[in-house]
Amino acid sequence: MRGKFITLEGGEGVGKSTNLLFIKERLEAAGKKVVVTREPGGTEIGEEVRSILLAHRESSLHETTELLLMFAARAQHLQQLILPALDAGDWVLCDRFTDATYAYQGGGRNLPFEKIKILEDFVQNGLKPDCTFLLDAPIEIGMQRASERGELDRFETEEQQFFHRVRAAYQKLAKLEEDRFHLINASQSLTSVQSEISSALDQLLVK
One DSSP character per residue, 107-130 reads IIT---HHHHHHHHHHHHTT---S
Looking at the predicted structure, is the pLDDT value of residue 149 above 90? no
Report pLDDT for 205: 93
- Binding site for ATP, by residue number, is 10-17
- Binding site, by residue number, is 10-17
Residue 199 pLDDT level (bands cut at 50, 70, 90): very high
Q: Domains of the chain (ranges plus CATH)?
A: 5-205 (3.40.50.300)
Q: What does the alpha-carbon distance between residue 187 and residue 184 come to, in Å, rounded to a whole number?
A: 9
- The reported pTM is 0.92
Question: Which three-class secondary structure state does DSSP give residue 136?
Answer: strand
Q: What does the alpha-carbon distance between residue 40 and residue 42 come to, in Å, rounded to a whole number?
A: 7
Looking at the predicted structure, is the pLDDT value of residue 147 above 90? no
Q: Please return the burial class of 100, using the count of CB atoms within 10 Å of its CB with bins 0-12, 13-18 and 19+.
A: buried
Q: What does the alpha-carbon distance between residue 203 and residue 197 come to, in Å, rounded to a whole number?
A: 10
Residue range 2-10: mean pLDDT, rounded: 97
- Among candidate residues 43, 202, 40, the one with its CA nearest the CA of residue 131: 202
C-beta separation of 23 from 201 below 8 A:
yes
Looking at the predicted structure, is the pLDDT value of residue 49 above 80? yes
Looking at the predicted structure, is the pLDDT value of residue 190 above 80? yes
